[in-house]
Structure 1
Amino acid sequence: MDLIAPMRLYALSKRHFVLVFFVFFICFGLIVFIGIAGPEIITSRTLPPISTKSKGHLQSRPFKLQTPGLSTYNQELWLMCHFEPNKSTGEEFRKNIPLTVAVSGVMQDTSVPNIRVDAHNHTRSLHCTNGLCDEIIVLHLGYLNYTEYMITITFYDLEDPLFSIKNVNFTLKMYNALFSQVEIWFRFIFVVFTFMVTCLFAHSLRKFSMKDWSIEQKWMSILLPLLLLYNDPFFPLSFLVNSWFPGMLDDLFQAIFLCALLLFWLCVYHGFRVQGERKFMTFYLPKLFIVGLLWLAAVTLGIWQTVNELHDPSYQYRVDTSNFQVTHSEFLKAQKCNADHIIVI
């Protein structure tokens, strides 16, 4: 006679049940405290303001900026631009501003090779109200190959009789190096604990055949290895290899685990209504299709944004709305085609 794999959750006493929740809340509170007391995630460095009166007209005048020393612990780099109006009229002002961005990396021997062959042209939306203008994201570097960067920015069609600019302020934003070190240790600790729990779980079920496992135990045998990948044991490669691949690998692992977790909850909640055999074609396949669409959309958009940022550091998903609309319409068509089948199930 085959043994049925027991679930320890159903054998817990009230005292053990309260102890589990007590330990969970202690760990959760400790993590929240470390997050509050720990280093800030993003650090900012404001460059000296550039006056538009000291060097002539703003129209078509290039701004040349040089970043301070950076390290791989800074992970990414954003350049923000903030326009300071000459006077406040109290009226709302909106305008699309064409700009050109060129980025060069500074080597250790002070040579300046071009990261991108050509300068890239884009349009940003300027919005000002009550004498305050919103920040504009000029560029974003997904990973840092060089210790310093030379950035040349040229604005076009910015002068307007109803709107004059007094100063142009640039701000550099990057990950805090101290936060990156804390993140490495946290990920390492979670990877080790996840690996230990996975091994203990597999060891506790070694005496039982897989057909005797409960549905929760079968799902845990899938989610625990995916949780190990979610914590990304390859994360330190981001600081050792000057490549976009480790970051893309991290995004891929996160998308896989989150979609698998969503699939688990869909199966569990739908299983409350289905009493009997769960056939693959009628029970699992529609859920796999729905979650697969979400996974495909997340991975596709992530790869699309990464590839575009590699070729153009001034790229933003907001300026690529046409491709997004195509993807969105195709996704809605797929949802509509399967709506009747989903409702029946």
Structure 2
Amino acid sequence: MHGWSYLHTTHSPGISKRSVQMKLYNQSKREFCLTFLCFFSMLGLCALLGLAGPVMTITVEEKATQLFPKLNQSQLAAGPFLVKTPALSPYHHQLWLIATMILDSSKDQSFEKWFQLSVSIEGVPTDHSSSAPLSETPHNRSRQLICSSNDGCEPLSILHLSQLSHTHLIVLMRFHGLEDIVSWTTVKEVLFYYKTYNPSFTKLEIWVRFVFLLIAFLASCWFGHSLRKYPVSDWAIEQKWLSVLLPMLILYNNPVFPLVFLMDSWLPSFLDSLFQSSFLAALLLFWLCLYHSLRQNDRKLVSFYLFKLLLVGWMWLVVIVASTMQRLNELHHPLYSAPSDTNHFYFFKVCFFTAGGIYTLYLL
């Protein structure tokens, strides 16, 4: 009935247990092949949608020599640079401002130099009224300029805004400490790149999440309807776990995901990270419990589940704390750069990979 026949008896040494038999174990070769064909067809459709769909990010370039007010040759090294971002909307989601120095290629020199980056940000509202500063004082951060004679200068991360609540941003930048590089080289140009999420990609992501959310909800309803007549004590361990994983899959697709773009708050993004991490943790716990259940029929909380819960909970907690700290840093410090400011995450990396290694050994 609805994919399950009642009852199936499983015999093991000293134990006889009846459970609701799953249709998966009674499929013919043709049904088994059709099941996998449908799965890989859906997987191929998703891959095709990703390849044929819009690009994830878009980048707009602007040259320092075209800024107003005009800069002389000596000011190209340290600024000040006054830029205005292209038009922004909530669908752009995030903004990265990146700078790249172009040096005179005739002077074969390689060098590394630390400097102090100072940035002031003002937001222009939707009605294009007077701009208002996003903070009372300029933001300051240390950056390192790395230039080589072969590859030129590496890009500099200026700022990263994880929430966009203004139509335009006016950014004033100064590179304190780079004034003296003009004594041994010539700065020909400074290129600024405004990198954001593609609004078309964002809208596609919203629709794709909604479709998979609907599929997960319908699958949960169908699963609950199919087993409604059978007591939970007669369910197989796979069926019990599916009753947990399917609701977690609904949360993984995040029913409140559009609030990320509609609310000027950190909470929707935090919930998105929480739901995804929780589903992946539940999936890890599922595989661990399912694999060990083949060799152990006594599944008491302390002897069977406790260590598994502590191990997977360890990894889940590390991911949640690390992602929350990074999110708060991005919100309160626009100059925060994850690739260069993650030294304090080494502890979390060690904890996570240690737990991952123990998980792998315990699984085997």
- What TM-score do the two structures reach when normalised by structure 1? 0.90
Structure 1 range deviating more: 53-62 or 189-198:
53-62
1:81 aligns with 2:99: yes
1:175 aligns with 2:193: no
Q: Which among 280, 285, 310 is matched to residue 306 of structure 2?
A: 285
Q: Which among 117, 129, 154 is matched to residue 134 of structure 1?
A: 154
Aligned pairs, number: 340
1:36 aligns with 2:36: no
Provide the C-alpha distance between the structure 2 equivalents of 1:142 and 1:310, rounded to a whole number of angstroms.
7
Q: Which among 256, 269, 272 is matched to residue 234 of structure 1?
A: 256
2:10 corresponds in structure 1 to: none
1:50 corresponds in structure 2 to: 65
Task: Measure how far apart 1:281 and its partner are.
Answer: 2.1
1:122 aligns with 2:141: yes
Q: Which among 272, 276, 280 is matched to residue 297 of structure 2?
A: 276
Task: Measure how far apart 1:84 and its partner are.
Answer: 0.7
Provide the C-alpha distance between the structure 2 equivalents of 1:105 and 1:241, rounded to a whole number of angstroms.
17
Is 2:101–2:187's contact at 8 Å kept on the other side of the alignment?
yes
1:253 aligns with 2:275: yes
SS of equivalent residue, structure 1 residue 64: strand
Provide the C-alpha distance between the structure 2 equivalents of 1:178 and 1:66, rounded to a whole number of angstroms.
23
1:304 corresponds in structure 2 to: 325
Q: Deviations over 1:203-222 (max 9, x none)?
A: 11111111111111111111
1:20 corresponds in structure 2 to: 35
Task: Measure how far apart 1:53 and its partner are.
Answer: 6.9
1:94 aligns with 2:112: yes
Q: 1:219 to 1:90 in 2, by over 3 A?
A: farther
Provide the C-alpha distance between the structure 1 equivalents of 2:53 and 2:349, rounded to a whole number of angstroms.
39
Task: Measure how far apart 1:307 and its partner are.
Answer: 1.3
Task: Measure how far apart 1:62 and its partner are.
Answer: 1.5
Provide the C-alpha distance between the structure 2 equivalents of 1:234 and 1:280, rounded to a whole number of angstroms.
33
Q: Deviations over 1:96-146 (max 9, x none)?
A: 232111211112242111112221111122222214222122111111111
Is 1:142–1:244's contact at 8 Å kept on the other side of the alignment?
no
Provide the C-alpha distance between the structure 2 equivalents of 1:316 and 1:271, rounded to a whole number of angstroms.
44
Task: Measure how far apart 1:181 and its partner are.
Answer: 1.2
Task: Measure how far apart 1:268 and its partner are.
Answer: 2.3
Structure 1 portions without partners, runs of 5+: none
Q: Which among 255, 263, 266 is matched to residue 285 of structure 2?
A: 263
Task: Measure how far apart 1:60 and its partner are.
Answer: 4.5
Provide the C-alpha distance between the structure 2 equivalents of 1:327 and 1:14, rounded to a whole number of angstroms.
46
SS of equivalent residue, structure 2 residue 86: coil
Provide the C-alpha distance between the structure 2 equivalents of 1:327 and 1:254, rounded to a whole number of angstroms.
18
Provide the C-alpha distance between the structure 2 equivalents of 1:218 and 1:162, rounded to a whole number of angstroms.
70
**Which letter maps to 2:24?**
L
Q: Which among 173, 190, 195 is matched to residue 153 of structure 1?
A: 173
Is 2:79–2:174's contact at 8 Å kept on the other side of the alignment?
yes
More RCO (CA 8 Å, sep 6+): 1
Q: Which among 212, 237, 245 is matched to residue 190 of structure 1?
A: 212
Task: Measure how far apart 1:282 and its partner are.
Answer: 3.1
Q: Deviations over 1:129-177 (max 9, x none)?
A: 2142221221111111111101111101123344442211000011111
1:315 aligns with 2:336: yes
Q: Deviations over 1:27-54 (max 9, x none)?
A: 1111111111111010111113438973
Higher strand share: 2
SS of equivalent residue, structure 2 residue 207: helix
Is 1:85–1:131's contact at 8 Å kept on the other side of the alignment?
no
SS of equivalent residue, structure 1 residue 10: helix
Is 2:63–2:190's contact at 8 Å kept on the other side of the alignment?
no
Q: 1:344 to 1:33 in 2, by over 3 A?
A: closer
Task: Measure how far apart 1:251 and its partner are.
Answer: 1.0
- What TM-score do the two structures reach when normalised by structure 2? 0.85
Aligned-pair identity in percent equals 40
Q: What do you get for the CA RMSD once the two structures are aligned?
A: 2.7
Provide the C-alpha distance between the structure 2 equivalents of 1:84 and 1:8, rounded to a whole number of angstroms.
65
SS of equivalent residue, structure 1 residue 87: coil
Task: Measure how far apart 1:283 and its partner are.
Answer: 2.5
